[in-house]
Structure 1
């Protein structure tokens, strides 16, 4: 799933390539991905792209007349920028990976695609990003929130710190991958309870959040859209590295699996050497 650093990089990539270009047309191939109908998608035709922004993990392409094409890429969505398209014919609704295509006046543009059978990619055409329910509910941005507000937000929800850190209403922008990286950097168990975290631990967690996200943005910004996924993987310390040595201490990175996701952590760095129980296996042996 694209998270704050990748969406920040995509916004920057689009600013470089699309600002000042006129939208030729917008084609929708997956009607289920389009969550709004007023204004209609035809409203963007002939308008000029003026900006590309980020709201948490939402991408916002702004055209003149104050129209916003707001995109949430979900788990399996992505943006593919094209210097040209193989055909000038409009997209037809179908079962392919392309959900939406934006064509620009110079023949370039971008496709929004989604792999797999679980279709969660969401596109909104609105006059104000706050009209998108997910944007309206966002908490403070995880990259810029100060330490006192960060601590207040984390303590506002009692629960395991991994889940609270990825709650977009608490903090905007952190997902499964970077929460693993942040907790590893902060030397905290993903199952630590937020109401038991000390002031010192919260200060450390805030610093780790800023450092991990800032470094990831620095690695990502300037990369072509097609390179961002591999760039993300190359910078990870524990996430998606089950069975490999921790680059900090050399212990083996472990995994806890859930029904639809998993987390990775280093026992030596984060849990005093204890191995956390795999939740799927725990249910099986009851």
Structure 2
């Protein structure tokens, strides 16, 4: 299979102009999207999360929706609801904002558990069931959820089942001094972002996703992924190790990473490069070791596992 990733590089180059010094979070977001997964961004407000979501939607020519989570947000505010039409004498379904290709769910941990659960079926099954009727979500479908790591008043922590549904968890972080200087010089470019011309259309996006599915994953690399998973499951510091969904996420993102690097086969470095974003949010540390940094634990686990030649 011949890899043509020129447009991927073009997308990164264009959007990097709106996300100064944030090429890595942008790349990770695109890897998650093309892996058919969902992204959780844990970060402070005002660091570019909305810019990232809108930019990806515009550059790929996709429909964008936004959900601002609050404690009084209802599940139907996400999924939509059926309203009675007097003229037709029947109920008509009015889709909610979840029926977009790219959906930004802002401050997801401010929504109640009942409302958070409305996202579970949508994220996992790519469909919504309401009043006995099932409605398919558009393809492609990508959720970018954000949560604030500092201000915990009035929040409802995401349950393990929901955390595991995010293929990656990342943060954008503060820009460098140089990048912030460029931002202050240029001012807000949000209006310019909305007028971006798409680099791809939906058909091209779906084709790339299918091409990524065909990237070769050798038995040795598969065994390496299983070794990583088993190490987290047997590790004395973890109460919960990687799930099957976790190992699938590692495999899928490794394929996309290989594709982005212009290869039609996965190497162990594809997995190790993304491990800090695909693994930590899926494992739980035992109470006795909660003061130990989870990232460092994952790093030490990986260092002990032999890398296949």
TM beyond 0.5:
no
Structure whose residues are more often helix by fraction: 2
The TM-score normalised by the length of structure 2 is 0.23
The TM-score normalised by the length of structure 1 is 0.24
Structure whose residues are more often strand by fraction: 1
